[in-house]
Chains A and B, each alone.
Chain A
């Protein structure tokens, strides 16, 4: 069995599962946020149960339109909080919260071998920990909150092997953008993606979170890494419960094995309006921009901010644009502050915001006007994703985003540091 199959078998009480099989899976963590929880709560009320199956396994995070951006958002956040209080769920208030997929691993709430379902498509982020995380809708979440179980079709697994040593400004974001560019936005539809090879072995945890996070952008159900020393080290001091590490079998069956030599890979940029519309930085051309966003569940972790600071420290954000930097959690914010990164960002002329998903989905904190272009470390560049349907979003890694902020056009970090 593959890693995904191992975890699903263990959580459905079966010796073996095969792709295409329908299984009832026991869930370890159920997640919702301020825009998906209200629908979940409404559906939960229809089920005829008073209590959730286990309040300690249900996490709600006000992150999308929180701190509340308007009255309607405030009402949704209030509804979620009232449900949290009624049921005694795990909750992080503004001031203690983070972007859900940055926060949960950081707090040790998701551990290797877990099955996590979240009413957020980027729940696949937890694959970086050797967990099976997948996004679902509000009704699925309502049912899982009531029963502790959810049905799944066991996905086939595609194995991605990354050979070689990555260049200086190349990381997890570039590997996953390159992969999506190769296989397309439905290249892994309904499949689990398993990431292996020396290039990803060398990635820090934060880079792995970035890769798993964007599995959904290839249509994937999950994007999973094998647990190694780095994973164990990350988890060791955070875990407050026991967990199980699974390894794929030697004879595991993959529907495809895709191999890449990434030793010469350049930083990648996804052009509007699909994450698969990828070009290497040397082929971008002269594209003037109006805004840069560095943050999100994709690239809002400490390593991401360190990378941005390497470019921005001592420099200046171009006078023609706005640079908005959003640490992914209060802890990331504090760590960035202590490391002098926040100081460097503010001196460079960037905005540093409290954690929120805000601009990534065109909510607030950096909405684009018609005709404006943004380089963003987020995950989607669909039409209107960050604001006006006539705006454009270019996806890139934090170093490219920072270099672009300095030069006012999409730029390679090499242009700043050489």
Chain B
């Protein structure tokens, strides 16, 4: 699957309180959560983001809480994928589980600025910066995780396993 969008770039340690403040966790509907995505951190985020846009970030993106509301809010806000130097581990699992695409590529992050247009081929991990005409390759997923991603997340993966009686 090919994704294409404008980049919104952030620094290191973007935490889950920045992504979705806990005061909004009294709901779990994705569209309501999306209304407050990055609210305390980048007040213009929602007005800037067009469907399909991409977040690029430094290390440890999504650190902090286990709230799945964080990747849910990002996805529902229209972001098609997040590219970071590294991800916090619970956020990483959550994003895979709910079908928000993540790519780990320090080179792509270092050579991308806000406003650049990227094209991402999820199957190969190829990240093409159209604005700068540079191409980078993201770290490949282990086969086991690719299996979960390919069927569309952990619920579908498990449903299939249960149905097969494994």
Residues of A within 8 A of B (CB): 22, 35-36, 38-39, 42-43, 46-49, 64-65, 69-70, 72-73, 75-76, 118-121, 123, 135-140, 142-143, 146-147, 151, 153, 185-186, 189-190, 216, 219, 221, 274, 361-363, 367, 380, 382-385, 389
C-alpha spacing A69/B142, complex, angstroms: 43
Q: Is B128 an interface residue (CB 8 A)?
A: no
With A39-B28, A72-B27, A139-B155 already in contact, the answer to whether A48 and B162 are too (CB < 8 A) is yes
C-alpha spacing A70/B64, complex, angstroms: 24
Sample (21) of A-B pairs whose CB atoms are under 8 Å apart = A38-B28, A69-B26, A121-B64, A121-B90, A137-B66, A137-B94, A139-B97, A139-B155, A140-B97, A143-B154, A186-B63, A189-B60, A189-B86, A189-B89, A219-B60, A219-B89, A362-B17, A362-B22, A382-B17, A383-B15, A384-B21
Name the distance in Å between B97's Cβ and chain A's nearest Cβ: 4
Q: Is the CB of A139 within 8 A of B13?
A: no
Q: Is the CB of A22 within 8 A of B144?
A: yes
Q: Is the CB of A384 within 8 A of B93?
A: no
With A139-B153, A363-B22, A384-B17 already in contact, the answer to whether A190 and B89 are too (CB < 8 A) is yes
C-alpha spacing A384/B22, complex, angstroms: 9
With A35-B25, A146-B158 already in contact, the answer to whether A221 and B18 are too (CB < 8 A) is no
Q: Is B68 an interface residue (CB 8 A)?
A: yes
What are the residues of chain B within 8 A of A138 when measuring CB–CB? 68, 94
Q: Is the CB of A383 within 8 A of B13?
A: no
What are the residues of chain B within 8 A of A380 when measuring CB–CB? 15, 17, 64
Q: Is B40 an interface residue (CB 8 A)?
A: yes
Name the distance in Å between B61's Cβ and chain A's nearest Cβ: 10
Q: Is B163 an interface residue (CB 8 A)?
A: yes
Q: Is the CB of B17 within 8 A of A47?
A: no
Q: Is the CB of A151 within 8 A of B66?
A: no
C-alpha spacing A146/B68, complex, angstroms: 18
Name the CB-closest residue of A to B87: A189
Name the distance in Å between A252's Cβ and chain B's nearest Cβ: 22
Task: Pick from B13, B94, B144, B158: contact of A185, CB below 8 A.
Answer: B13
A-B pairs with lowest CB-CB distance, top 9:
A137-B94, A389-B40, A72-B26, A137-B68, A361-B22, A384-B40, A139-B97, A186-B60, A121-B66
Q: Is the CB of B68 within 8 A of A36?
A: yes
C-alpha spacing A73/B23, complex, angstroms: 10
Name the distance in Å between A9's Cβ and chain B's nearest Cβ: 17
Residue of B67, B86, B89, B154 with most partner-chain A CB within 10 A: B89
Interface residues of B in 54-87 (CB under 8 A from A): 59-60, 63-69, 72, 86
What are the residues of chain B within 8 A of A189 when measuring CB–CB? 60, 86, 88-89
Q: Is the CB of A139 within 8 A of B68?
A: yes
Q: Is the CB of A383 within 8 A of B162?
A: no
Name the distance in Å between B149's Cβ and chain A's nearest Cβ: 13
Name the distance in Å between A377's Cβ and chain B's nearest Cβ: 18
Q: Is the CB of B66 within 8 A of A186?
A: no
Q: Is the CB of A137 within 8 A of B90?
A: yes
Q: B7-33 CB contact bits vs A (8 Å, 1 = yes)?
A: 000000101011001110111100000
Task: Pick from A38, A142, A221, A361: contact of B65, CB below 8 A.
Answer: A361
What are the residues of chain B within 8 A of A35 when measuring CB–CB? 22, 25-26, 67
Q: Is the CB of B162 within 8 A of A136?
A: no
What are the residues of chain A within 8 A of B145 when measuring CB–CB? 22
C-alpha spacing A132/B139, complex, angstroms: 28
What are the residues of chain A within 8 A of B21 when measuring CB–CB? 362, 384
Name the CB-closest residue of A to B144: A22
Q: Is B46 an interface residue (CB 8 A)?
A: no
What are the residues of chain A within 8 A of B93 when measuring CB–CB? 136-137, 140
Name the CB-closest residue of B to A40: B68
Name the distance in Å between A312's Cβ and chain B's nearest Cβ: 28
Q: Is the CB of B15 within 8 A of A36?
A: no
What are the residues of chain A within 8 A of B144 when measuring CB–CB? 22, 151
What are the residues of chain A within 8 A of B25 when measuring CB–CB? 35, 64-65, 361
Task: Pick from B23, B68, B86: contact of A39, CB below 8 A.
Answer: B68
Name the distance in Å between A101's Cβ and chain B's nearest Cβ: 12
Q: Is B2 an interface residue (CB 8 A)?
A: no
Task: Pick from B59, B66, B67, B158: contact of A47, CB below 8 A.
Answer: B158
Other A-B contacts than A140-B154, A219-B60, 14 sampled, CB-CB below 8 A, are A35-B67, A36-B67, A47-B158, A137-B93, A140-B93, A147-B161, A147-B162, A186-B86, A367-B23, A380-B17, A382-B64, A383-B15, A383-B18, A389-B40
Q: Is the CB of A383 within 8 A of B28?
A: no
What are the residues of chain B within 8 A of A48 when measuring CB–CB? 159, 162-163
C-alpha spacing A64/B40, complex, angstroms: 20
Name the distance in Å between A143's Cβ and chain B's nearest Cβ: 5
With A72-B27, A73-B26, A385-B17 already in contact, the answer to whether A121 and B158 are too (CB < 8 A) is no
